[in-house]
Structure 1
C-alpha cells in the first residue's frame, strides 16, 4: 500500500498519530485515494473529530466535495451522521451553513431529520453559527421536513428556536395523519404544537376543515389509508 492509501486508511481508522506522520512526510492532504475519497472525507464519515481538526490545520479544504459519489460536503455528512464534535470542528474552520454540494443539501435539514429524532445538539449548533432556520431544501424548510417525518420533539425544538410555519405545514401534518393511521398520535401532537405556536393558522380557508376536525366541530375524517 502506498503512502496515500496509508493516509486515507489512518484517517478512516482515526489514527491521528499516523496521519500526522504521513502528512509530515509529504503526502498530499487532499489527494483522493483509488475510490475518490480523501482523508478528510473519511475522517468526517467516521466521526473522528481530532483527525478532522488535524487535517484542516494541515490545509485540507473543509468545504471540499465528499461522499461516495462526491455529492455532498463534509458538513452535510457530519450533520447527517450525528457527529456533533466534527460539525463543531468544521464550523470552527469557518465552513458556511447554507445549502451546499452538488445536490444543494442543507446541513440544518439533514441534522433535523436524520435518525429517529434528528440530532438536536447539531441543530442548535448550526443555528448558533448562523444557519437560516427557514432554509429551503427541495421546497421544504427544516420544520416542514420534521413535520413530514413525524418528528414530534424536533418540531417542538424548531418552533422554540423561532421557526414559523405556514398553511402548507399544517396541511402536510393533517395529510400525514390520514395517510399513516398507525402514527396518528404523533401527528396529532405535531398539529397541536403548530396550532399552539400560531393559532391564526386555522383562519386559512384551505385548513379550516382540518382545524374543525381537530376541535371536534367538523365532519368525521375520511377512511384512513397508508400512502
Structure 2
C-alpha cells in the first residue's frame, strides 16, 4: 500500500491517491526509498495531490528530500513551486529555519537558481517570512550578494531587506573570486550604496 500511494503521489494522480487513502494506506508511510507521498508530490509540484494529502492528515513539517534533510516547504521553495508553497503555508508550515540543517525557505527560494524564484519569495514574505532571517550566518540579501544575483538583490531591497556592510563585502569578495562576473557584482554594490550602505 505504501508503495502504491507513493507512486500515485509522485505521478500526481489525485484519483489514485484518494483510492489508496480510502483503502487504508497510511498517509505518511515511507516507500522503499524512504520518502513519503507528500515529499514526492511536493518535489514534483503536484498541487492537487499535495492539497489532498494534507487534507488527509499528512504532516507539513515532516522530513523531506532525498536524504531527509529538508522539509516540504523547503523542497517546494527550492524548486519554485509557488502554488505548493502557498498550500503548505495555509496548512501551517512554518517559515523559519527548519529541517536537520536549519534551512530557511526564503533563502532557498532566493538563491537556489541564478534568478531565484521571485514569485515564491514574494509569497513567503506575504505569509510572514522574515526577510532578514539568517541561514549559515547570512541573510537572504547577503547570500544573493555573495552569488552575484542582481535581480534578486534588487527585489529583496525593494521588499524591505536591510542593507548591510556584510552584503557589500560579500559582493566585493565575489567580484574578486569571479572577475568574469565583476559587472554583476558592481551592480549589487551600486544598489547597496543607493540603499544607504557606505564604504
Give TM class, smaller chain: over 0.9
Q: Displacement, 1:186?
A: 0.7
Q: How does 1:179-218 map to 2 (within 5 A)?
A: 179-198=177-196, 201-202=197-198, 208=199
1:101 counterpart = 2:102: no
1:152 counterpart = 2:150: yes
Structure 1, residues 153-189: CA drift from partner, whole Å, max 9, x if none? 0000000011012212111111211221100111111
Instruction: Identify the match of residue 55 of structure 2 among 54, 57, 61.
Output: 57
Q: TM-score scaled by structure 2?
A: 0.98
**Separation in structure 2 between the aligned mates of residue 96 and residue 172 of structure 1, nearest angstrom:** 28
- Name the Cα RMSD after superposition: 0.8
Instruction: Identify the match of residue 114 of structure 2 among 113, 116, 119.
Output: 116
Q: Displacement, 1:50?
A: 0.6
**Separation in structure 1 between the aligned mates of residue 3 and residue 120 of structure 2, nearest angstrom:** 31
SS at match of 1:153: helix
**Separation in structure 1 between the aligned mates of residue 138 and residue 194 of structure 2, nearest angstrom:** 21
**Separation in structure 2 between the aligned mates of residue 14 and residue 168 of structure 1, nearest angstrom:** 43
User: Could you say which residue in structure 1 is the equivalent of 2:64?
Assistant: 66
Q: TM-score scaled by structure 1?
A: 0.86
Kindly report structure 1 stretches of 4+ aligned residues shifted beyond 4 Å: none
Give the number of equivalent residue pairs.
199
**Are 2:12 and 2:49, in contact at CA under 8 Å, matched by a contact in 1?**
yes
**Separation in structure 2 between the aligned mates of residue 99 and residue 50 of structure 1, nearest angstrom:** 26
User: Could you say which residue in structure 2 is the equivalent of 1:19?
Assistant: 17
Q: Name the larger-Rg structure.
A: 1
Structure 1 unaligned spans of 5+: 203-207, 209-227
